[in-house]
Every structure is written in C-alpha cells, then in structure tokens.
Structure 1
Amino acid sequence: MDNYAQLLADLTEAGALGEEWRGAFERAPRSAFIPDTVWIADSDAATGYRRLTRAANPAEWWALANANDVVVTQVDDGTDDGPGVATSSASMPSLVASMLRYLDVSEGHTVLDIGTGTGWTSALLCSRLGDEAVTTIEVDSAVAAEAADRLAKAGFAPTCTVGDGLAGWTGGAPYDRIHSTAAVQHVPPAWLEQTHPGGVIVTPWGTPYANAGLLRLVVGEDGEPSHGRFVGNVSFMWMRAQRPHRVSGPTRGPERRSASPMDPDLALEDVNAAFAIGIQVPGVRYEHAWDESDPHGTYRMQLSDGGESWASVRYSRWDAEDAVHQSGPRRLWDEITAARLWWLEEGKPELIRFGMTISPDGTQAVWLDQPGNPVR
C-alpha cells in the first residue's frame, strides 16, 4: 500500500473520511495538486520558513504531500521581501474531509468553492458532483493560474475565475452550497444573496483575538435570517480583505497602570476560552513581546483594537501594581478579564455550543446554545 492509500485508510478508520467521499479522494490524489516548491517552517531561517523543492528533495516532498498535515505553498503573498507569513496552503486532508462532510452535497447540487488555492478541493468536488457543478474563485492570479493548470492536467474542468471571493461569483449563482477555504470575520452579504434559500455555507470564521471556528450556516428564505452553528475548531488563513490589523504600540494620551485581576495565561487557557473572549472584545488583537535584556521578566501580552486603544499585561508578577498598562477610550485588559469571567460563569462552554444568526441587513449575532441567548 502506498503512502497516500495508507493515509486514506487511516482517515477512513478514524471516521474522518466517509464512503461518500472516499472515491473522490482516490480519483483526485493530493500530490497532483501540491506545487513543486513548498515552504517548511524553520526557526533558523530569517523569515521562519525554508524553501523545499520536489527536484532537490523528492523524498521529503512526497512525505509532505501524503501526510495528514498542512503544506504551506506561498508566503508573503508571493513576494520575496516579506516578514515570513504563510499566505496560501494545502489544508490537512482530515480537515478537508470534515469540511466537505459538513457541506452535505448531493447529486445535482452546484457549489461555489472560494479560495481555489492548490485546486485540490475543487478537484474533489468535481470528482463527486461533476465539472459543470463546480465554480471556483481565487484572488491571487498567479495561484489561480497554477491551480487551473494542475486541475486540467488531472482531468478536471470546473469553472475557474479570478477575483475577490468576498464578492462571490454571480456568473453561476444561485448556488446550492458555498465552501470557503479562507477565514472571515464577517460573512459577506453576497454569499447569502448567491445561495438558494435552505442552502448551506461552510466557512472558517473568527475574530482578531481567536481565529478558531468552523461555521455551518443554513441560508434563510428571502427577508428571513440565516442561522448556523460552529461545528469545529479550525484555523485558516484570512481572506485578504478581512485580515486583522497589526498590533500597534502605545497610543497617545494618559496611561493607566494597575495590577491584573487574573493570571494572563488564563486569557488563552484553551481554544474555547479564547473563542468566547474574542466574541466579546470586538476588534481586539494580541501579540507577545519582550525585551531582550530581560526576556522572562518583561514577557507580556500586548493588545490593540486597531484604533486608539492599547493595553499590555506582564506575565511575571502580574499582580504587581505596574503589571498592566492601558490607554485609549477602551480598557482592553479589563474587557478581556470580564469576558473570561462570563465564560467561567456560563460553565466554560465549548466552541461547538456557539452559533450565529445573520439578519437580512447583514448584522451578525453570536449566541450560546440557541438564537434566543445572544452573547453580548
């Protein structure tokens, strides 16, 4: 049994790959869609990634192509002088299988696949539903061209387009299903407008604080809200137009200093806590920083809302009177601690207990357990 066949057998045995999709995975092997050049995380490299080519390292390349792991296929939007941020990838096969299962397609359904990437997901959809049922859109013209070439060589011919996936694609609308392989902070109204009532949208969804949810949304009738649940914990690259802001430095104006009422480690206790906190602190993003002169004593979480508010909390001696610094109209660390307290009071709900309602005007409301229990 070759490595890819073993991967599919393992996924099937684990319950990640159902029989309804097994044939599609066999007919569209992942390796046919992995570029000859990929990127490997490497702490010794200046950008944190090293280039790996199929020609120079065939054994390592094939091991990556047939592994149940992410393969980074682009960094820094394809530029050569970026900071080393992964911007395109081939997702974990088990996660691809899970998302396709939640899409719940049937013969005759049409699908808009947003974020073509390598083209593998589009190939799987074509294999299951037929070429004419699949439209795929990619914002990066170079990535799109390479994917279209790989799809054609593998014998698949979906409708391939280049454009901003947030706008959907009216050419094939309305669709029965929309499948996104990039995360959003706000589900675009265009996706709802381009999906048949009763149709399904599956997309990664997150906040600047926690990019963590997989949303399965059922589109409402015209003039009615759409409802969905978060069905899993995933972390995907952001839609380019919805990437969160960079964490800024201290803002101008008076700075308030205080002790922290909780250990900062608890603000990221687990994905469930982070997800619940992120919902309640709109626009807030964090990063970790330290001073080289004293990494342990100065290690801290820095927060900003992309506007005028900023905060910093030190991990060491977090209960000292100078551990927390806050400035701007919002007290961001106070918001974080209050949000976590709410999560505790609710019994530490898991991510999959949350859901979302989208009103006809596009307003998003996240709720706990049922639509009648919105999270503030």
Structure 2
Amino acid sequence: MDKNAQLLTGLVMAGALGEGWRGAFERAPRSSFIPDAVWAPDDDSLTGYRRITRHDDPAAWWALANADDVVVTQLDDGADGGPGTATSSASMPSLVATMLRHLDAADGNTVLDIGTGTGWTSALLSARLGDQRVTTIEVDQAVAAEAAQRLSKAGFSPTRVVGDGLDGHRPDAPYDRIHSTAAVRHVPRAWIEQTTPGGIIVTPWGTPYANAGLLRLLVGERGEPSHGRFVDNVSFMWMRAQRPHQVVELAHPPEHQSASAMDPALALDDVDTAFAIGVRVPGVRFEHRWNRTDPTGTYRMHLSDGAGSWASVRYTDWDAPDAVRQAGPRRLWDEIAAARSWWLEEGKPTLSRFGVTVAADGTQTVWLHDPGNVVG
C-alpha cells in the first residue's frame, strides 16, 4: 500500500473521510498539487522556516506531501526578504475531509471554491461533482497560474477565476454551496446573495484574538437571515482584505498601571476560552514579547485594537502593582479579564455552542446557544 493509500485508509478509519469522498481523494492525491518548493518549520531559521525542494531533498518533500499536516507553500505573499509569515498552504488532509463533509455537497450541486491555493480542493470538488459544477477563485495571480497548471496536468478543468474571493463570482451564481479555505471575520454579504436559499456556506471564521472556528451557515430565503453554528476548531490563513492589524505599542507612556485581576495564562487556557474572549472583546489582537536578556522575567502578552488602545501584562509576578500597563480609550486587559469571567459564569461553553446570524442587509451577530441570545 502506498503512502497516500495508507493516509486515506487512516482517515476513513478515524471517521474523517466519508466513503463518498474517498474516490475523489484517490483521483486527486494532494502530492499532485504540492509545489516543487515548500517551507517546513525550522526553529533555527530567522524566519522560522526552511525551504525544501523536491529536487534537492525528495525524501523530506515526499514526507511532507503525504503527511496529515499542513504544508506551507508561500511566505510573505511571495515577496523576498519578508519576516517569514505563511500566506498560502496545502491544508491538512483530515481537515479538508472534515470541511467537505460539513459542506454536504450532493450530485448535481454547484460549488464556489474560494481560495484556490494549490488547486487541490477544487480538484477534489471536480472529481466528486464534475468540472462544470465547480468555480474556483484565487486572489494571487502567481498562485492561481501555478494552480491552473497543476489542475490541467491532473486532468481537471473547473472554472478558474483570478479575483477577490470576498466578492464571490456572480457570473456563475447562484451556487448550492460555497466553500472557503481562508478565514473571515465577517461573512461577506456577496456570499449570501450568491447562494441558493437553503444552500450551505462552510468557512473558517475567527476574531483577531482567536482564529479558531469552522462555521457552517445555512442560507435563508431571500430577505430572511441566515444562521449557522461553529462545527469544529480550525485555524486558517486570513482572507487578505480581512487580515487583522499588526500589534503595536504606541509611543506615549501607559496611562494606567495595576496588578492583573487574573493569571494571564488563563486568557489562553484552551481554544474554548480564547474563542469566547475573542467574541466578547472585538478587534483586539495579541502577541507575546520578551527581552532576550531575561526571557522568563519579561515574558508578557501585548494587546492592541488597531485604533489607539494597547495593553501589556507580565506573566511573572502578574499580581504586582506594575504588572499591567494600559493606554488609549479602552482598557484592553480589563476587557479580557471581564470576558473570561463572563465565560465562566456562562458555564464554560465550548466553541460549538456559539453561532452566527447574517441579516439580509449583511449585518453579522454572534450568539450563544441559540440565535436569540446575542453575545454583546
């Protein structure tokens, strides 16, 4: 049994890959869509990645291609000399299988695949539904061109579009299903309008604080709201136009210093905690910082909202009078602590207890347990 067959058998046994999709995964193995050059995590590299090519290191390349793991295929939107931010990838096979299962596409359905990337997902959809029923859109011209070559070589010819996936693709609408491989913070109104009532949208969804949810949205009748629940814990790269802001510390000194009301480690205790906090504290993003001369003593969480507010909390001696520093119109760390207290009072709801409603005018609300219980 070859490596791909072993992988697929494992996915079937784990319940991730339904038999209705196995034939598509066999016809379109992920390795056929992995570029000759990819990037693997490397803690010793300044960017955090090292480049691996099929020509120079075939064993390492094939190990990545056949593993149930993400393969980074682009850094820094393709620009040279960047910081090493992953901006395109081939997703984990088990995660792709899970998303396609939630998509619940049936024979005869039409699908808009947003984020062509390597072309693999659109190939799977074409293998399952037929080329004529799949439209795939990619914002990066170079990525789209490479995907087109791989799709053609593998024998697939879905409708290929270069453009912003947030706008969808009206010429082929309406679609029975929309499948996105990039995360959004707001479900675009265009997606709702281009989906048949009763159709399904599956997309990664997150907040700047926690990019963590897989949303399955059932599209309502025209003029009516669409509702959906988070069905899994996933983390995907952002739609380029919805990427969160960079975390910055403003030049002016902190306006407020205090002890922390809680151990900052509790703000990232698990994905359910982080997801709830992100919903309750809109627009806030964090990163970890430290002074290399004293990593343990200076390790801290730094937060900003991209609108003039920032906060910093130290992990060591977090209850000291100067552990928290905050500035700007919002007290971001106080909001984080209050959000976690709310989550505890609500009984520690898991990510799957939350959902999203998109009104006919595109307004988006997040709710807990049911659409009537909007999270403010």
TM-score of the pair, normalised by structure 1: 0.99
* Partner AA of 2:348 in structure 1: K
User: Contact (CA 8 Å) 1:207, 1:278: kept in 2 or not?
Assistant: yes
TM-aligned CA deviation for residue 353 of structure 1:
0.8
Counterpart position of 2:42: 42
**C-alpha distance in 1 between matches for 2:200 and 2:51:** 38
* Partner AA of 2:244 in structure 1: P
User: Contact (CA 8 Å) 1:310, 1:328: kept in 2 or not?
Assistant: yes
TM-aligned CA deviation for residue 358 of structure 1:
0.8
Matched, 1:188 2:188: yes
* Partner AA of 1:323 in structure 2: A
* Partner AA of 2:140 in structure 1: D
Counterpart position of 1:331: 331
User: Contact (CA 8 Å) 1:251, 1:310: kept in 2 or not?
Assistant: no
* Partner AA of 1:56 in structure 2: D
**C-alpha distance in 1 between matches for 2:286 and 2:237:** 17
Counterpart position of 2:5: 5
SS in 2 for 1:237: coil
**C-alpha distance in 1 between matches for 2:62 and 2:313:** 44
TM-aligned CA deviation for residue 190 of structure 1:
0.6
Q: Percent identity?
A: 74
User: Contact (CA 8 Å) 1:253, 1:328: kept in 2 or not?
Assistant: no
**C-alpha distance in 2 between matches for 1:117 and 1:269:** 32
Q: Mean alpha-carbon deviation: is it higher for 270-279 or for 23-32?
A: 23-32
Counterpart position of 1:279: 279
Q: What is the root-mean-square deviation of aligned Cα atoms in Å? A: 0.8
Counterpart position of 2:63: 63
Report matched runs for 1:109-120 at 5 Å.
Answer: 109-120=109-120
User: Contact (CA 8 Å) 2:116, 2:137: kept in 1 or not?
Assistant: yes
TM-aligned CA deviation for residue 372 of structure 1:
1.1
User: Contact (CA 8 Å) 1:250, 1:311: kept in 2 or not?
Assistant: no
Counterpart position of 2:16: 16
Report matched runs for 1:29-108 at 5 Å.
Answer: 29-108=29-108
User: Contact (CA 8 Å) 2:244, 2:285: kept in 1 or not?
Assistant: yes
- The unaligned stretches of length 5 or more in structure 2 are none
Taking a change above 3 Å as real, the CA distance of residues 316 and 144 of structure 1, as seen in their structure-2 partners, is same
User: Contact (CA 8 Å) 1:201, 1:219: kept in 2 or not?
Assistant: yes
TM-aligned CA deviation for residue 254 of structure 1:
5.6
- The unaligned stretches of length 5 or more in structure 1 are none
User: Contact (CA 8 Å) 2:254, 2:325: kept in 1 or not?
Assistant: no
Taking a change above 3 Å as real, the CA distance of residues 251 and 343 of structure 1, as seen in their structure-2 partners, is farther
Matched, 1:303 2:303: yes
SS in 1 for 2:232: strand
Q: Deviations over 1:331-364 (max 9, x none)?
A: 0000000000010011111101111111112111
* Partner AA of 1:127 in structure 2: A
Counterpart position of 1:250: 250
Counterpart position of 2:156: 156
**C-alpha distance in 2 between matches for 1:60 and 1:208:** 33
TM-aligned CA deviation for residue 44 of structure 1:
1.2
**C-alpha distance in 2 between matches for 1:51 and 1:252:** 40
User: Contact (CA 8 Å) 1:251, 1:308: kept in 2 or not?
Assistant: no
* Partner AA of 1:65 in structure 2: A
How many residue pairs end up in the alignment?
376
TM-aligned CA deviation for residue 250 of structure 1:
3.1
TM-aligned CA deviation for residue 187 of structure 1:
0.6
Q: Mean alpha-carbon deviation: is it higher for 188-197 or for 293-302?
A: 293-302
* Partner AA of 1:310 in structure 2: W
SS in 2 for 1:202: strand
**C-alpha distance in 1 between matches for 2:198 and 2:253:** 50
**C-alpha distance in 1 between matches for 2:7 and 2:123:** 18
TM-score of the pair, normalised by structure 2: 0.99
TM-aligned CA deviation for residue 253 of structure 1:
6.6
**C-alpha distance in 2 between matches for 1:63 and 1:116:** 23
User: Contact (CA 8 Å) 1:183, 1:237: kept in 2 or not?
Assistant: yes
* Partner AA of 1:128 in structure 2: R
TM-aligned CA deviation for residue 260 of structure 1:
0.4
**C-alpha distance in 2 between matches for 1:328 and 1:263:** 23
TM-aligned CA deviation for residue 252 of structure 1:
3.3
**C-alpha distance in 1 between matches for 2:250 and 2:132:** 53
